[in-house]
Amino acid sequence: MRKFAIGAAAALAATGLAVPSANAAPASPDLAKLVTAKDIKRHLRNLQTIADHNGGNRAAGQAGFTVSTRYVVSELKKAGYTPTVQNFDFDYFQEKSPATFGQTAPNKVDYKNGDEFTSYQYSGSGDVTADAAAVDTPAPNTDGDSGCQTEDFASFPKGAIALIQRGGCDFAVKAANAKTAGATAVVIYQKPTVADSPVGGTLGGPATLPVVGPTYKVGSDLVKLAKAGGLKLHVKTDTLNEKRTTNNVIAETKSGRSDNVVVVGAHLDSVEAGPGINDNGSGTSTLLAVAQKASKLGKKGLQNKVRFAWWGAEEEGLLGAEHYVTSLSAGDRAKIALNLNFDMTASPNGVRGVYNGSDPTAPHGSAAIQKVINDYFGGRRLPTVPSDFNGRSDYGPFLEAGIPAGGIDTGAEGIKTAEEAKLFGGEAGKPYDGCYHAKCDRLTNINWNLLDTNADGVAFAVQSFAKSTLPVNGEALRTGRAFAKPAPTAPLYRGGHLVR
């Protein structure tokens, strides 16, 4: 889900020289020892069974997610919690049959779905054959901002298919401008400054026009033909866009300060393509196992209330976490000391990524969370690398609200470097998770060593901040928010999807 960079923290951790955290948890009871791989594996097996018996997935708005919710609620009740199921509506999208895209003139060409183009999430349905027109083509080898302004379409022929290069603004803005100009379909092709693959983005909400995203090579070749005159394209999409209801599951410890809450989250949903056992059954199951043992810490260990959350519709754009954060009053948001997020903790060719709270755009206190987790792994001579806060997981709405955040992940479709392979083993030049967002994300896709050691880090972080948030916020939230909120940056991703 994100890129990794080797930094000073990683170098210290790799040599075992990281300084033990000043926020270190007491030796007994040790939550990291109480939570076992066996506990987590049981949950993973059950999530796999749920998916296998409910259409092969646990996607929001579908049966597998509903049953997954019931499972988490049942397990929490057994552990003595009184969980809340927080319902919310969302825009459900389904591609009912594969899209087709090609030229009908001056040549007859059918492009390959998945290799040369993909349809956008929330694309409308349609079967369009029409002339194609290039919109504000950027200079060669530049990103530009094609289609980001309404004036880009000043000479656009009504009824044509718009050819727009990615870059400069959200895909939704480009598609909306094209529709206003009278386009009958939209082709937003890849920009030249990234690997030449289909775009695979999201429009953020339902569109009424077919929208597809080819590679830069396909798109730039089509632009040349369009400028020469006589280019006709065929775009066909078959999609479902409708409102559905999904939910978050929330449960909190009975003990601890209610004005200094530690929110610990993982998304419960999968994509429609598969059961999502690494993404994010790994985080879901680890969090559930930690919650089931947290009461062992007692009142002395639970100085701050811990609120466990399993988010819905993360794969649709972080919708569950966003709904939760925006539904809170200003006063209740001020009572949240920090957010811990765990999304993909067992990638088969993964690394041990710790969210980079030192990023200058992150709320103050986030760097302290990173240090606590890095110091724990450094003390065990387990290497870490910084993981970018790039908007691809449920920490996003918390960061936007000025709440410090941190956590662990192990990588998605990004490629492992040679340096990372030396630190963590595995194969350089291959994805961290070759089954990311795919049917094969099953129990066989789990890196059990990473899962086990990362679970220890999750448990340690929860125990540490349940006892004290001193390094993060000075434990001074009784009179309201005490954090500076850096200027936000425009996100490149929401959930697992590109938005721009």
Which token pair is 359? 């990023």
Which token pair is 205? 């909400």
Question: Among 333, 460, 485, 498, which residue's Cα sits nearest to residue 26?
Answer: 460
275/52 Cα distance (integer angstroms): 7
| CATH code of domain 107-230 | 3.50.30.30
288/293 Cα distance (integer angstroms): 9
459/455 Cα distance (integer angstroms): 6
Query: How would you class 53 by CB atoms within 10 Å of its CB: exposed for 0-12, middle for 13-18, buried for 19 or more?
Result: exposed
The whole-angstrom distance between residue 8's C-alpha and the CA centroid of its chain comes to 25
The residue ranges of every structural domain in the chain are: 8-91+244-498, 107-230
285/61 Cα distance (integer angstroms): 20
Strand spans (E) along 197-231: 211-214
pLDDT tens over the chain, length 500 residues: 433 333 333 333 333 333 334 455 445 699 999 999 999 999 999 999 999 999 999 999 999 999 999 999 999 999 999 999 999 999 999 999 999 999 999 999 999 999 999 999 999 999 999 999 999 999 998 999 999 999 999 999 999 999 999 999 999 999 999 999 999 999 999 999 877 789 978 999 999 999 999 999 999 999 999 999 999 999 999 999 999 999 999 999 999 999 999 999 999 999 999 999 999 999 999 999 999 999 999 999 999 999 999 999 999 999 999 999 999 999 999 999 999 999 999 999 999 999 999 999 999 999 999 999 999 999 999 999 999 998 889 999 999 999 999 999 999 989 999 999 999 999 999 999 999 999 999 999 999 999 999 999 999 999 999 999 999 999 854 444 444 455 555 566 665 566 77
Q: For residue 243, what are the β-bridge partners? A: 91
In angstroms, what CA-CA distances link 45 with 39, 49, 277, 350, 444?
A: 10, 6, 9, 21, 11
Which token pair is 43? 């949950």
Q: Are 376 and 465 in contact (CB under 8 A)?
A: no
Active site residues per annotation: 314
Cβ contacts of residue 473 below 8 Å, gap of 6+? 260, 337, 338, 365, 404, 482, 483
Cβ contacts of residue 11 below 8 Å, gap of 6+? none
Residue carrying structure tokens 């997020």 = 341
Residue carrying structure tokens 């506990």 = 39
203/199 Cα distance (integer angstroms): 12
CATH topology of domain 8-91+244-498: Aminopeptidase (3.40.630)
Which token pair is 20? 């033990």
In angstroms, what CA-CA distances link 415 with 10, 181, 195, 228, 429?
A: 18, 39, 12, 39, 6
Buried/exposed code over 141-166 (b: 16+ C-beta within 10 A; e: otherwise): eeebbbbbeeebbeebeeebbbbbbb
